[in-house]
Structure 1
Amino acid sequence: MTSFLIKAHENRAPSPWSGYQDCVFCRIIRDETPSIRVFENDMVIAILGKATHSSFPKLTSLAFLSSPADYAAAVGVAVTQVARALTQALDNTALNVVCNQEYAQAVPHVHYHVIPAPKFGNKQPPPSAADDTKLLTVKEMHQREYEGRTELDEEEGAILAEQIRSKL
């Protein structure tokens, strides 16, 4: 999945973000934008998005490398706790944890995405007999993962958020 996102950002010039204080995460921190918060303390917020969860510091930092150590540590702890609760709520330990810095970064605020891998079950056609006899290439594996992702509607999001909170 990540490779598809990164591919879309090839040849993108580094962003000239500096002193930026009005991104969507800053507005969430100030309660100006609604969000489904699954975890919050004095340093970190974790929200549930349509297909992922994001954790980010309450202090605006544009890049992972410029994050103060105490905030970076607090985000790391929150990512671990919320990812663990998410995997328990979904009964699926497969996931990606992503932190972009300039390259493929769409929001000028350091943040981590925890993206659960899809369970193919009934939503995907069963693999053909030919698939059983050959290993998938990395590209084929990523393509299947990407195509298997679904977005949560509002009701599903509220239910999953409650399940995550109950595991924290």
Structure 2
Amino acid sequence: MTSFVIQSHVDRPETPWTSPFAGSTTSRPHDPDCTFCQIIDRSLPATIVYETPLVIAFLDILPLRRGHTLVVPKMHCSRVSELPAPYAGAVGEAVSVVAKAITQAIDHTGLNVVCNQEYAQAVPHVHYHVIPSPIFSTTSALTPKRPEVKPPSQRAMHRLEFASRSELDDDDAEVLAEKIRSKL
């Protein structure tokens, strides 16, 4: 049985790279049909704000709010529960570094950090969303103008936020990315 398994891998093509495991050379798990793998390989464009040998972070093209950034391991893995420890650690560190830079770049400390596994996971590749929280002011559409009017429920606010999403403009993305990069 073992020889059959070994033989089936003899002519398998590999993508060489430097492994995070004691400098050994191995192949990085990669899915050519995965949007994030294509961004990692630079075959799809993205506004990259942070990168290490194990992690990449880029602005979401359909952000919930200004500064919405994705932090992605450079290894294709669809479940965070299966992500090898070196990548999990590198992603955790990157989330912290990127979160700090975003809060400084937009001068607002409120954030949501979200990672989905299977459920609500649009791209089946581990990724964390670092999303600035909404900023409500007295002129906000979500803030009542009269004190007797009840503020909207959290569910209603989420619906309004989702409905207000729009695609990120390339020029705006580059200006924002530069502000975030300057804080790293």
Higher relative contact order (CA 8 A, sep 6+): 1
* Cα shift readout 1:17-40 (whole Å, capped 9, x = no counterpart): xx8712011011111111111100
Aligned partner letter, 1:87: T
Partner of 1:92: 108
* Cα shift readout 1:39-66 (whole Å, capped 9, x = no counterpart): 0011000011231210111111111000
Determine if the alignment matches structure 1 residue 64 to structure 2 residue 80: yes
Cα offset, 1:161, TM superposition = 0.2
Structure 1 residue ranges without an equivalent (≥5): 1-18
Aligned partner letter, 2:31: Q
Instruction: Please give the secondary structure, in 2, of the residue aligned with 1:54.
Output: strand
Partner of 1:127: 144
What TM-score, normalized by structure 2, do the two folds share? 0.71
Task: State the distance in 1 between where 2:121 and 2:139 align.
Answer: 30
Determine if the alignment matches structure 1 residue 139 to structure 2 residue 149: no
Structure 2 residue ranges without an equivalent (≥5): 1-28
Question: Radius of gyration: which is bigger?
Answer: 2
Label 1:106 to 1:27 Cα distance change in 2 as closer, same or farther (>3 A): same
Task: State the distance in 1 between where 2:137 and 2:38 align.
Answer: 37
What TM-score, normalized by structure 1, do the two folds share? 0.78
Task: State the distance in 2 between where 1:118 and 1:161 align.
Answer: 19
CA RMSD across the alignment:
2.4
Higher helix share: 1
Partner of 1:81: 97
